[in-house]
Amino acid sequence: MGDDSTTTIEASFETREAADIAVEHLVQQLGVSRPDIFIQPAADRNTAGLAPSGGDASHEEGARRDAPLEGEIQVSADVSLSQVGAVKRCLGEAGALWVSSR
């Protein structure tokens, strides 16, 4: 009988775009199920990250100034113990500011 224990891996990203890319890598490269991945602001305030990205950064007149840039974006994933190393590497390669497990 195999060990089916899980743990939660958390990572913080500067932009929503980087967090979204990290999620896609977890799903497509490592096969982590989307319902086991969560994205939320790292603090209490709603945020699009620390810096403009994606649609907020690609305007003719420069980056939009009305995006809520209030803090980091946190990605967490509930994964099997056998995936911990690969998930941490994947999040780091996607640009995580920090990665931890709990």
The arrangement of strands across the sheet holding 37-41 comes to 37-41, 73-80, 6-13, 98-101
What is the per-residue pLDDT for 67? Answer: 57
Reported as a single tens digit per residue, the pLDDT across 48-57 is 555 555 555 5
Per DSSP, the three-state class of 86 is helix
Confidence category of residue 1, pLDDT binned at 50, 70, 90: very low
What is the per-residue pLDDT for 75? Answer: 96
What is the per-residue pLDDT for 43? Answer: 72
Separation CA 76–CA 39 (nearest Å): 7
Q: Is the dihedral of CA 50, 53, 55, 57 positive or negative?
A: positive
What is the per-residue pLDDT for 62? Answer: 57
DSSP class of 77? E
The structure's pTM equals 0.75
Reported as a single tens digit per residue, the pLDDT across 18-73 is 999 999 999 999 999 999 999 988 777 666 555 555 555 555 665 555 555 567 88
Average pLDDT over residues 5-16: 93
